[in-house]
Amino acid sequence: MRAVVQRVTEAQVRVDGQTVGAIAHGFLVLLSVGKDDTDADTTYMVAKLAGLRVFEDAQGRMNAALADVGGSVLLVSQFTLHGDVRKGRRPSFMSAMAPERARVMVSQAAEQLRDLGLTVAEGVFGADMQVALVNDGPVTILLDSKKVF
């Protein structure tokens, strides 16, 4: 699983002109499922997201997690994070998981985050989505459950 995590003051996702998910303070997470990912990858990613300490503590240091600051998550599926452009200029998406299984794993990630007490809004899997955000910092973190980067 791969994720681009952006610390935001606000974020929203729209489908067909309608807002389908929105948050204030928290993380916008663009999430992609790889073809070899398992439930262990979901568990790893959820733990990283919930425990990621990139919010300011009382001393102004990046030392607080989502729950510490009352933050929310806007989770948006984005298979293009598994795009490989090492050869040519057109991305290959061979390493992305098939949509039917990927949909289940993205939903599982959202539910696991909720089970940890976090508020989670979502995009619409497979839809043409427009995502708007105000990146706070800016702070952007890349996560990969296979620890590629």
Q: Is 79 annotated in the active site?
A: yes
List the chain domain ranges.
Answer: 2-144
Q: Which residues are within 8 A (CB) of 129 and not within 5 positions of it... i.e. 6 or more apart?
A: 13, 14, 15, 20, 76, 123
CATH number at 2-144? 3.50.80.10
Question: Active-site residue among 9, 19, 80, 140?
Answer: 80
pLDDT digits over 85-143, tens only? 999 999 999 999 999 999 999 999 999 999 999 999 999 999 999 999 999 999 999 99
Q: Is 125 annotated in the active site?
A: no
73 forms beta bridges with 27, 120
pTM for the predicted model, two decimal places: 0.96
Question: Active-site residue among 6, 27, 79, 112?
Answer: 79
Question: Active-site residue among 6, 12, 42, 78?
Answer: 78
